[in-house]
Amino acid sequence: MKRVAGAGQGFTLIELMVVVAILGIIAVIGYPSYLQYTERARRTDATTTLLTAAQRLERCYTKTMAYDHADCNGVVNAASAEGYYSVSVTSTAATFVVEATPTGVQANDATCSELSINHLGQQQSIDSDGADSSDSCW
């Protein structure tokens, strides 16, 4: 049996177009899901930082009997550990609120545009429209 030159070698244009179409569909579905996953994973940077800051403030309150004591001023960093959030503290002698706001690549996170925790341990999150999104962010 003789083999015909060129027969059975390579791909047809239709086969190539089917593969390109399949890859396009996977990319269209997969990439946005990947972006949402990475945003959600980066939120742990904020929640961990907020819980650690609240714990440090409570420890300072135990020693000084005030959240706004001079010894308590340096217990919270201005940025989260991974740097995806900026952290701020508002405190009085009897209360505090620690807030985390996304920065850098996390700034596009519209679901959780601000996360906070207060002296009562109440965790709250607000989306970019100002609605409560605590269930999906904490």
Taking only the tens of pLDDT, the chain with its 138 residues reads 565 655 667 889 999 999 999 999 999 999 989 988 999 999 999 999 999 999 999 999 999 999 988 888 777 878 998 999 999 999 999 999 999 999 999 998 889 999 999 999 999 999 999 999 999 898
Give the span between the Cα atoms of 119 and 124, in whole angstroms.
Answer: 12
Please state, in angstroms and rounded to a whole number, the distance separating the CA atoms of residues 19 and 56. 55
- The pTM (predicted TM-score) of the whole model is 0.78
Strand partners, 126: 114, 132
Distance CA 3, CA 46 (A): 66
